[in-house]
Amino acid sequence: MTAPRRDELAAVVLAAGMGTRFRSDVAKVMHRVAGRTMLRHVLDALRPLGLRQVVVVVGHQAQEVAGEAAQAEVDHLVTVLQEEQLGTGHATAQGLALLDDAVRHVLVVPGDTPLLTPATLERLADGDGEATATLLTTEPEDPGGYGRIIHDDAGAVVGIVEETDASGEELAVREVNAGMYRFERAALAASLRQLDTDNAQGEQYLTDVVSILVGRGETVRALPAPFSEVSGVNDRGELATAGHVLRQRALERLMRQGVTVIDPATTYVDVGVTVGRDTVLLPGCLLEGDTTVGERATIGPYSRLVDAHVEDGARVAQSHVIAASIGPQADVGPFAYLRPGTRLERRAKAGAFVEMKNTTLGEASKAPHLAYLGDARVGRNVNFGAGSITVNYDGFDKHETVIEDGAFVGSDNMLVAPVHIGRGAVTGAGSVITHDVPDDALALERSEQRTLAGWAARR
Contact 123, 230 (CB under 8 A): no
* DSSP at 2: -
- Residue 154's contacts (CB-CB under 8 Å, 6 or more residues apart) are none
Residue 173 CA to residue 160 CA, distance in Å, equals: 11
Largest Cα separation within the chain, whole Å, is 111
Phi, psi of 24, deg, nearest 5:
-140, 155
Residue 111 interacting with Ca ion (CB under 5 A) = no
Q: Is 379 in the site for Ca ion (CB under 5 A)?
A: no
x/- site string to Ca ion, residues 112 to 131, per CB under 5 A?
Answer: x-------------------
Contact with ligand UD1 (CB under 6 A): which of 22, 181, 205, 384? 205
In terms of CB distance, is 214 or 230 closer to Ca ion?
A: 230
Answer yes or no whether residue 17 interacts with ligand UD1 by CB under 6 A. yes
Would you list the DSSP string of 232-270? ---SHHHHHHHHHHHHHHHHHHHHHTT-EES-GGGEEE-
Residue 234 Cβ vs Ca ion, minimum distance, rounded to whole Å: 5
Residue of 51, 149, 166, 178 that binds ligand UD1 (CB under 6 A): 178
* Of the candidate residues 9, 10, 12, 14, the single one contacting ligand UD1 (CB under 6 A): 14
Which residue type, as a one-letter code, is found at position 143? P
The vertex-258 CA angle with 257 and 260, nearest 5°, equals 125
Question: Which of Ca ion, ligand UD1, none does residue 88 bind (CB under 5 to 8 Å by kind)?
Answer: ligand UD1
What is the nearest approach in angstroms of ligand UD1 to the Cβ of residue 15? 5
CA gap 152, 106 in Å, rounded: 26
Measured from the CB of residue 112, what is the shortest distance to Ca ion in angstroms?
5
CB of 162 to ligand UD1, least distance (A): 5
Q: Which of 369, 399, 420, 435 is catalytic?
A: 369
- Least spacing, CB of residue 229 vs ligand UD1, in Å: 12
Q: Which is nearer to Ca ion, 95 or 232 (CB)?
A: 232
Residues 74 and 13: their CA atoms lie apart, in Å, by 12
Return d(Cα 22, Cα 235) in angstroms, integer. 5
383 binds ligand UD1 (CB under 6 A): no
Site string for Ca ion, 227-246 (x = CB under 5 A): -----x-x------------
Residue 104 CB partners (closer than 8 Å, separation 6+): 4, 8, 9, 184, 185, 186
Please identify, using beta-carbon distances, which residue of 87 and 294 lies nearer to ligand UD1: 87
- The answer to whether the beta carbons of residues 391 and 364 sit under 8 Å apart is no
Residue nearest to Ca ion (CB): 232
Beta bridge partners of 326: 310, 344
CB-nearer residue toward Ca ion: 60 or 185: 60
Evaluate whether 119 touches 215 at the Cβ level (below 8 Å).
no
Closest distance between ligand UD1 and the C-beta of residue 144, in Å?
A: 10
- 91 is a site residue for ligand UD1 (CB under 6 A): yes
Active site residue 369: yes
Residues near ligand UD1 (CB under 6 A):
14-17, 29, 57, 59, 82, 85-88, 90-91, 110-112, 146-147, 160, 162, 176-179, 205-207, 232, 234
Q: Which residues are catalytic?
A: 369
Residues near Ca ion (CB under 5 A):
112, 232, 234
